[in-house]
């Protein structure tokens, strides 16, 4: 099973855009290509808005990630804003109460089956797991959106605990190195808006 740290806080460097463990087992070419795309470090600012559906319970959540080489990374999931500065400090804030605490508190979004790294390292962990249990190699392909952005994708054929066959899909924006869309047993992630800039206010505690 995917191991997630859901109840602790931590401080340190920006883990969301700098994944550490990127080894894909089984020599799966398509899976490796998607993971390689996820390890890309964007050299420009960007903001991506997602719609995420937690399938167990049907909860829908808006998430926004913003990245800037100088300001760092901001990850907003529902009313929780995670801040990772370029200097290595981290904090967890509420956009409702405006309160902030040092460190990354993953328990704020654990009810949604998410972490603050859902679009990067958590996706890599999921892909590695699916590559291990897939029935045969993943099917790899590319998708180009109407605005010309290219995504690298992989479909994994797996058998669930009930013996039914299903497909898990991961697509990654190659130019940004983050998830473009994802469809798994527990989550559906789709991109709503992509902007090639980032509002500086997103990298500050809400007020």
Give the alpha-carbon dihedral of 168, 156, 42, 36, to 10 degrees. Answer: 160
Compute the distance between CA of residue 132 and CA of residue 170 in angstroms, rounded to an integer: 15
For the entire predicted model, the pTM comes to 0.85
Q: Where are the domains of the chain?
A: 25-203
- State whether residue 125 is helix, strand or coil: helix
pLDDT digits (tens, 9 = 90+) for 5-55: 333 343 334 444 444 454 544 578 999 999 999 998 888 899 999 999 999
- State whether residue 4 is helix, strand or coil: coil
State the Rg of the chain over Cα: 16
Q: Count CA atoms within 13 Å of residue 108 on its CB side.
A: 24
Fold that domain 25-203 belongs to in CATH: outer membrane lipoprotein receptor (LolB), chain A (2.50.20)
pLDDT digits (tens, 9 = 90+) for 178-203: 999 999 999 999 999 999 999 999 99
| Contact assessment for residue 46 and residue 196, using Cβ atoms and an 8 Å cutoff | yes
């Amino acid at each position: 099973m995917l191991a997630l740290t859901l109840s602790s806080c931590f401080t340190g460097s920006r883990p969301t855009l700098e994944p550490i463990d990127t080894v894909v087992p089984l020599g799966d070419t398509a899976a490796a290509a998607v993971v390689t795309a996820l390890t890309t470090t964007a050299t420009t600012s960007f903001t991506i808005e997602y719609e995420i559906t937690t399938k167990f319970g049907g909860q829908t959540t808006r998430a926004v990630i913003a990245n800037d080489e100088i300001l760092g990374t901001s990850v907003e999931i529902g009313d929780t804003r995670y801040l990772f500065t370029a200097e290595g400090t981290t904090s967890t804030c509420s956009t409702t109460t405006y309160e902030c605490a040092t460190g990354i508190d993953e328990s704020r979004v654990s009810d949604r089956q998410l972490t603050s790294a859902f679009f990067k390292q958590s996706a890599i962990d999921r892909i590695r797991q699916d590559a291990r249990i897939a029935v045969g190699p993943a099917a790899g392909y590319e998708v180009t959106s109407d605005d010309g952005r290219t995504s690298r994708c992989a479909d994994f054929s797996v058998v669930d605990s009930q013996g039914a066959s299903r497909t898990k899909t991961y697509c990654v924006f190659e130019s940004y190195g983050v998830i473009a869309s994802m469809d798994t047993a527990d989550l559906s992630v789709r991109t709503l808006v992509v902007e090639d800039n980032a509002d500086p206010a997103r990298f500050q505690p809400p007020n």
